[in-house]
Amino acid sequence: MAPKLTVSRLNKSFGDLAALRSIDLSVERGEFISVVGPSGCGKTTFLRIVAGLEHATSGEVSLDGRLVREPGTDRGFVFQNDSLLPWRTAFANAIIGREVAGKIGPADRERTMELLKLVGLEGFESYHPRQLSGGMRQRVNLARALAIDPEILLMDEPFAALDAQTREIMQAELLRIWERGQKTVLFVTHQIDEAVFLSDRVLVFARRPGRIQAEIKISLPRPRTLEIKRTPEFVAMVDRIWKMIEDDVRTAALYENA
């Protein structure tokens, strides 16, 4: 079967700074891929290029064989900050992608209601963002990306701003939703345990220039529950990845505090 997403010889530089160098990647339909790495390794830039929000300096990205140049409704982006419109209700926020694509009919409304239910927001459709907790706002953010029925979900550290407990719950929720729809997911995070818990494969990025340092297959059985995080296999896997990026993280931390 042809891969869902193909990235070949992708380079990106900002002036003299090489942000990404020679990224090659092939993602199968329904695969859950995470990208981890220290800050400044270009993982978010990589995701934004796939989204079409930024242009690569060279190399190409193709989705279902079509070259990606601009943003489009075949990709659903879940932002780190929820980016909800404060003047719209949860429902009106979730349906905005379909609104941009054209006229919305009863089927679109119904689907959006279904998705809000799927992400656990039944009964909160007419609430405004300021009335919702951080976790609930991220659920709307996810529903909004799912509402356009994208070929691939691009998630940029979506749980980074949440407290530890809410984050764990959201990880489990995301898996539950993913297992139902079997969407292809590209998930950027700096939490190694989050990447291991969610993914089929984890791409470990190195910095300066940003590149793929290692690709690790996660063969933990599915469906996974949060308990799996306490198994020795899981802990060993997290430890292994941490050792790969440890030096990079320390350097990054030094640079950022300087």
**Residues within the interface to other proteins (CB under 8 A):** 51-53, 70-73, 75, 77, 79, 81, 83, 85-87, 96-97, 99-101, 120, 122, 127-133, 135-136, 139, 148, 169, 172-173
CA-to-CA distance for 124 and 121, rounded, in angstroms? 5
Shortest Cβ 129–other proteins spacing (Å): 8
Which of helix, strand or coil describes residue 148?
Answer: coil
- Among residues 186 and 237, whose Cβ is nearest to other proteins? 186
Contact between residue 159 and residue 127 where contact means Cβ atoms under 8 Å apart: no
- Among residues 17 and 226, whose Cβ is nearest to other proteins? 226
Question: What are the Cα distances from residue 40, in Å, to 8, 59, 209, 217?
Answer: 21, 20, 9, 24
**DSSP designation for 70:** S
Please enumerate in sequence order all residues whose Cβ is within 8 A of that of 190, keeping only pairs 6 or more positions apart, or say none.
Answer: 36, 37, 38, 39, 157, 160
Shortest Cβ 143–other proteins spacing (Å): 13
Shortest Cβ 169–other proteins spacing (Å): 6
Nearest 5°: phi and psi at 230?
-100, 0
- Among residues 100 and 236, whose Cβ is nearest to other proteins? 100
Shortest Cβ 95–other proteins spacing (Å): 11
- Among residues 22 and 81, whose Cβ is nearest to other proteins? 81
Which of helix, strand or coil describes residue 55?
Answer: coil
Shortest Cβ 179–other proteins spacing (Å): 14
- Among residues 15 and 123, whose Cβ is nearest to other proteins? 123
